[in-house]
Structure formats: C-alpha cells, structure tokens
Amino acid sequence: MKQFLESEIISTYEEAKIVILPIPYEITTTYRKGCEYGPDAVLTASDQLECYDEELGMETCFHAPIFTHDYIADTRINNNLTADDMLKVTTETVTKLIEDNKFVIAVGGEHAITTGVVQAYQQNLDEPFTVIQIDAHGDMRHEFEGSIHNHACVMRRILELGLPTLPVGIRAICQEEADLIKEKNIPVMWARNIYFNPHWMAEAISNIKTKKVFITIDLDGIDPSLIPGVGTPEPGGMDWYQLLAFMNLIFSSFDVIGCDVMELAPTKDSVVSEFTAAKLIYKLIGYWQHNNSRS
C-alpha cells in the first residue's frame, strides 16, 4: 500500500513516532460523495511534498519518523460495514497505537469516524481533554437521515461523552444546533467573527480549560477556494496561514494528544485539495515534533 511521504523516508513501526491511520469509510455522505477515496489521494499527494519545512527550519520527517498503518474500515471493499463496525475497529486500533506511544493522525473518510478515535483516547487517559473542531458545520444534530452516527452528528456524540469542545470556523448550522449551542453555552468561534476579529485566537485559547487537546479537522472548515474537494463546500472558511498560525499556537500552548483530518473528497482533473491536505498533515507533524523536542 501507499506510504505517507514514501519517496523521502520509510520508517518501521517500531522506530516511528508518528502513525498515519487511513480510514476510507463512507456511508452517510449527504451531498458530494467520494471521501472514501480521500486517504489514498492524500498518501499519493504526500509523495510530492518537500520534506524541508521553511517555517520550522527542519526536515520534519527525519526528526519525527512516520509510519503508515494499513487501511481499516474500508468501505471501498466492504460496503456492508455498519457504523458500529467502524467505531469498534477504529477504537481498538487507536487504543493499540496509544499503548505503543504513537502520535496518531487519522485520515478519513467521513467525519463520523472521529467518534471512534476520540473514544479510544477517552478510554485510555485518566484526565479530560478538549476536542478542538475545525469545521464549516456544527455537526451537532442528534440524528440525521435516520442515523445517530451520521457525519452531521459526530460532535453531538462527542459532547455526550462528556468532553468539552471548541468549534472553530463554523458557518452553517440548523435550528436544533443553534438551540444546543445556547443551552450548553458552547464557545463557538464563528467564521464571520474570525474574519473581522484580529484577537480571535486569544479568545479561542481562553475557552480551553484542559491541558490536553485533540484536534479534529473537517477540511470543509478551510475555505473552498483552497480545498474545493469536500462534500459540502461552504464559502467563507479559514485561509491557509490563518489555520497554520492557529495550529502552531495550539501545539505550543497545550499537550496535543492526537489529530484527525477528515472529509477529503478528491475532484477530477485537480490535485490541489489532496496536496493541500497532505501538506496540512505534514505541518501538524512538524508542530508536534517542534514542541515535543524542547527540553
């Protein structure tokens, strides 16, 4: 199978600090389909990345060895997978990676996968953590189209786990979600306020009350002019350097326990979405390494 950054360096599982976990699962997509092909596209695009990070001044992959795990919950070869099947294998796999002291970046696939990833961390940590959600949509419906594990419900499931959340870049919600946000006093960083408020990052940070955080990135949180290859491309998202500055701040301010990058649905005749997603993943690895190598 394909490896992340394959032409630069391939690490064994034992020596790797970072594990890329591809999860090509897609059952509940409601608009533009194709995110089950997202992990493959990211891995292919990653081979074209330069390994030197000019911001961090290092060849990241030689400081943070990367291993690419086998696919799990692959609906391309088994479209009879249920959400329960996916959540079970995802939680079990991430649990093993946590036990082996790996920093996990799961790559989807639809956003419903995040529930299984987060469950693994909650079950294996003895302290709470905040789930930082980069997203265009609230994803806080109780159920959608007959499923409580629809991609539009993932953050509702995480709230039900009792974990605090910080939604960032939100610009599309329903009335049910608006009511829940008000009822639970969820500190949403709305996309329009990010655009007009130069102090939004400080405000975001002030809403995180735990030392540890998990980052889930739905790629539609980024403006579709940068990543058009998503299921529902909402205008008005975060720009590239804005997102990177926020991610760098999070990694330098908190203990980031893991990440996921979800909902890439590759487009025909363009590789810009998958290349940008691959570079984003590489930047996350760089920020993790930079902040974990300090004495």
pLDDT digits (tens, 9 = 90+) for 141-183: 999 888 888 899 999 999 999 999 999 999 999 999 999 999 9
What are the strands of the beta sheet with 189-190, ordered from one edge?
Answer: 66-68, 18-23, 103-108, 255-262, 212-218, 129-134, 165-170, 189-190
Q: Given a cut of 60, is residue 116 above it in pLDDT?
A: yes
Closest CA to 77 of 107, 113, 114, 40: 40
166 close to 204: Cβ distance less than 8 angstroms: yes
Q: Taking CA 35 as the corner, what is the angle to CA 34 and CA 36, rounded to the nearest 5 degrees? A: 90
Closest CA to 284 of 242, 234, 250: 250
Amino acid at 260: D
Q: Given a cut of 50, is residue 295 above it in pLDDT?
A: no
Q: What are 22's two structure tokens?
A: 């591809």
Q: What are 81's two structure tokens?
A: 């997978």
User: Lowest-confidence range among 106-115, 140-149, 281-290?
Assistant: 140-149
Q: Given a cut of 80, is residue 294 above it in pLDDT?
A: no
Q: Taking CA 217 as the corner, what is the angle to CA 177 and CA 79, rounded to the nearest 5 degrees? A: 85
Mean pLDDT, the chain, rounded, equals 96
Q: Given a cut of 60, is residue 84 above it in pLDDT?
A: yes
Residues 6 or more apart whose Cβ sits within 8 Å of residue 232: 30, 31, 32, 136, 137, 172, 220
